[in-house]
Amino acid sequence: MANDVTNVVIAGLGGQGIIRASDILADAAFYSGFDVKKSEIHGMSQRGGSVSSDVRFGKKVWSPMIPMGEADFLVLCDRSQREVFWPYLKEGGVLISVDDIPSDKLPHSKTLNTALLGVLSTYLPISLEAWERAITLRLGGKLFEANRQAFDIGRSLISQATK
């Protein structure tokens, strides 16, 4: 990264696990020794409205909010949100979306976000151990193994969609 702060916007619709996905990213970055700031916007989320979370990490982060045009990564959990959040992605930033994930290859329909995080993980200076620790913390339980597999599937994909 050219700057010392990495900016990630995760966006989708209410009920898709946007907040949990951003919690996993924030935890993994924290476990890797970065200063992390996170914010969420989830108005009308229970009615299927837009939900987004900004995650910023680096040596020192002063604000949790990512200004428009400064996101290094935009992770879309629902393609309907592309136009809404596209202005946040900076020139040369990376778009990671549900279109990058072959949903028929996922072990469970509820593991899409974890697969998206797997794709994102290939771009970030966060150790695999930190990701696994964060996934275990946030997704332990009966779907843990399915989420771990989905994360690995995401890591195996090469993102074709760049700005």
pLDDT tens by residue, 34-46: 999 999 887 665 6
Residue at 163 is within a domain? no
Give the pLDDT band (50/70/90) at residue 24: very high
Q: Residue 96: which domain range?
A: 5-156
Residue at 162 is within a domain? no
Is 9:71 a contact under the CB 8 Å cutoff? Answer: yes
Residue at 15 is within a domain? yes
If one counts the domains in the chain, the total is: 1
Q: What is the pLDDT of residue 41?
A: 83
pLDDT of residue 159 exceeding 70, the answer is: no
pLDDT of residue 162 exceeding 50, the answer is: no
Q: What is the pLDDT of residue 47?
A: 67
pTM of the model: 0.90
Residue bearing the bigger pLDDT, 74 or 44 = 74
Q: Domain holding 111: CATH number?
A: 3.40.920.10
Is 75:110 a contact under the CB 8 Å cutoff? Answer: no
Average pLDDT over residues 61-69: 94
From 25, 50, 51, 48, select the one nearest 38 (Cα to Cα): 25
Q: What is the pLDDT of residue 44?
A: 63
Average pLDDT over residues 19-45: 91
Residue at 134 is within a domain? yes
